Chains A and B, each alone.
With several copies, the nearest count.
Chain A
């Protein structure tokens, strides 16, 4: 299926297409959010939908995150299939009560009598100085909550397929996009298709280490793996894709082959989902680990705004490659590696050196 069309489109367009197809195929689907119908269309992901499907399917929203989440839950348990959109995941903090107490629990509390077919799309920001309140990566919050499904697709192909799967799913799904993936092109077939919400994907096979990456970190991971392969270091890169449930079978199977686990996350290290991956592997496949597992994640303080400060904040492909090589006890000429992974773009705009497709 992946190759049947040879059509390269950006992830923003892939998401927009999935929304359009969902609106098309099921009249119960509605799309609502602050800025959804506006000229910028949430970084293009909702552009033109209101024109196409009309103002009774595609809605703007008051600035009322908790209330609107509850309203969408109310609509979801009353026969609609709402898709809510937040321009930044940070804003969903205002809606934690409705997400955790109602969306995640409504079916359970009532012993399965009512479903909550709701999709909450959120965007993890980055770049150009969003700063402490506008660039958090809060997947760990959602990943801790029974009753939610939480996905973080990386490729445009997966973004479209997982979004369609999420909208067709009868449970609340948190669909986490990364701003820096929106512009990357991928092979995305036009007809509607789904990608499972609970499966990791091996994007690159290797035998020396398993590198599990989340969302945008897959991009950096692939660059790092490519560079290390020049030195005979063979990294298996797994795109986790799903945060809840984590696809532990795929991850463990890989670790059993490589003996080494590295997890790269877009979030703060302490208390993040990377730790969950490591804990789950350590608990259930301890014997497979030939060396300590490693987390590569954000330092435990918020992102600053100044680019001069941001430049040291996000671990990138070079950071990954250096750490993995060192962890494996493999010598790699550092200056050469640094040159290979030289980042031609400033730290606050997306990595140019990865252009897709995945």
Chain B
């Protein structure tokens, strides 16, 4: 992994999402947004282990995955702004995104819905003899959906080149994992189902990358599905731009503990310890700020979509 690149990628996700959060109150982004702030290392670490032609599926919390896989930032923001130049021409918004050129194969908000799709894409890759790996991101809560288990079973049966990535951020909306699952590790279930399993500190991009690389190498050599459970934490509210610790659903101090192991800052600290590190960070910040400003302008200037086009999207 190119550590600087990974850092840059995380920083970019962070700054993009912060910018979304900052501007959300303007009420020009009129769709639900689920921010990944605090969870950037998972998306970036996993995608760093993938090739461009590999595919990624995601869920309601898609921005980080989309960007880490190389999705077009301008098209993403324009989509969130509901414009014709958005990646789905305004049909999708933040919760339904795609960038086929980047191998970002789709995100939709029904939890668990993309997990079997990813398995199907991996199946197609195998049937077509393509040397292609598919990764799918989902949360701890999503692991409770039966369809995830059906998907894992099929993937293990057919030894498909699929990487299941569980972002265990301890919560599904406001529900803590202990209110939804018994006390046993998620990855243990996947192991019992026949996956090669890995765990990683989801706030350490290098750690995520390391297990991903190993997992993906196994996939390319036909060893059957792999499952990575990453421990991480969402800083903001489940849906929307705000902090919500005031609501009291998380134990006191929990957020602060996780903020103290910020994935972006952790990587930055590592870089700062290197010669030129500080300069590098500064230049990344600048470049990203410029790119973001550009992208928001692109989105805000985007033409409005036309309702008359909608029926044509329905059938081929």
Contacts and interface: CB of A to CB of B under 8 A. Distances in A.
Direct contact of A and B (CB under 8 A): yes
Interface of A: 30, 34-35, 38-40, 56, 60-80, 90-91, 94, 97-98, 101-102, 106-115, 117, 128-134, 146-147, 149, 169-171, 299-301, 304-309, 311-313, 346, 348
Contact of B128 (A79, A130, A311): A79
A33 to B, nearest CB: 10
Interface in B293-316: 304-307, 309-316
Contacts of B108: 101-102, 109, 133
Given A133-B96, A304-B90, A62 B116 contact: no
13 contacts: A38-B173, A39-B174, A66-B146, A75-B123, A98-B113, A108-B313, A133-B113, A146-B314, A169-B316, A304-B305, A306-B31, A306-B93, A308-B305
Nearest to A134: B109
Contacts of B142: 63
B127 interface: yes
Contacts of B173: 34-35, 38
Given A56-B127, A74-B119, A131 B96 contact: yes
A269 to B, nearest CB: 13
A308 B304 CA distance: 7
Chain A contact residues, majority secondary structure: loop
Given A304-B305, A308-B90, A309-B90, 17 more contacts: A35-B173, A39-B248, A60-B180, A66-B116, A72-B120, A73-B116, A73-B120, A77-B120, A97-B113, A98-B113, A107-B313, A107-B314, A132-B92, A300-B311, A304-B90, A305-B31, A305-B96
B238 to A, nearest CB: 9
A305 B124 contact: no
A132 B312 CA distance: 15
| Among all A-B residue pairs, the 4 with the closest Cβ atoms | A74-B120, A70-B116, A67-B150, A129-B31
B252 to A, nearest CB: 15
Nearest to B157: A62
Given A70-B119, A73-B120, A110-B92, A129 B98 contact: no
A110 B116 contact: no
A69 B82 CA distance: 30
B51 to A, nearest CB: 16
A77 B109 CA distance: 18
B180 A101 contact: no
Contacts of B86: 306
Contact of A301 (B82, B116, B247, B314): B314
B223 interface: no
A80 B120 CA distance: 10
A133 B59 CA distance: 12
Nearest to A117: B316
Contacts of A130: 31-32, 95
B302 to A, nearest CB: 10
Given A62-B144, A115-B316, A128-B31, A76 B120 contact: yes
B150 A62 contact: yes
A150 to B, nearest CB: 13
A91 to B, nearest CB: 7
A73 to B, nearest CB: 6
B26 interface: no
Nearest to B115: A70
A142 to B, nearest CB: 15
B110 interface: yes
B82 A71 contact: no
Given A62-B157, A133-B110, A170-B316, A73 B307 contact: no
A225 to B, nearest CB: 27
A171 B316 contact: yes
B287 interface: no
Nearest to A76: B120
Interface string B90-127: 11111110101000011011111101111111111101
A71 B125 CA distance: 12
A90 B110 contact: yes
A130 B110 CA distance: 11
A38 B92 contact: no
Nearest to A66: B147
A67 B82 contact: no
Contact of B120 (A35, A75, A131): A75
B74 interface: no
A108 B55 CA distance: 20
A106 B121 CA distance: 14
Contact of A107 (B93, B116, B315): B315
A117 B124 CA distance: 13
A98 B150 CA distance: 13
Contact of B95 (A40, A67, A131): A131
A68 B91 contact: no
Nearest to A127: B30
Contact of A305 (B92, B110, B117): B92
Contacts of B119: 67, 70-71, 74
A101 B147 CA distance: 14
B132 to A, nearest CB: 9
B181 interface: yes
A67 B146 contact: yes
Contacts of A71: 116-117, 119-120, 123, 151, 154
Q: Which of A76, A114, A131 has the most CB of B within 10 A?
A: A131
A202 B207 CA distance: 65
A168 to B, nearest CB: 11
Contacts of A147: 314-315
A112 to B, nearest CB: 4
Contacts of A312: 307
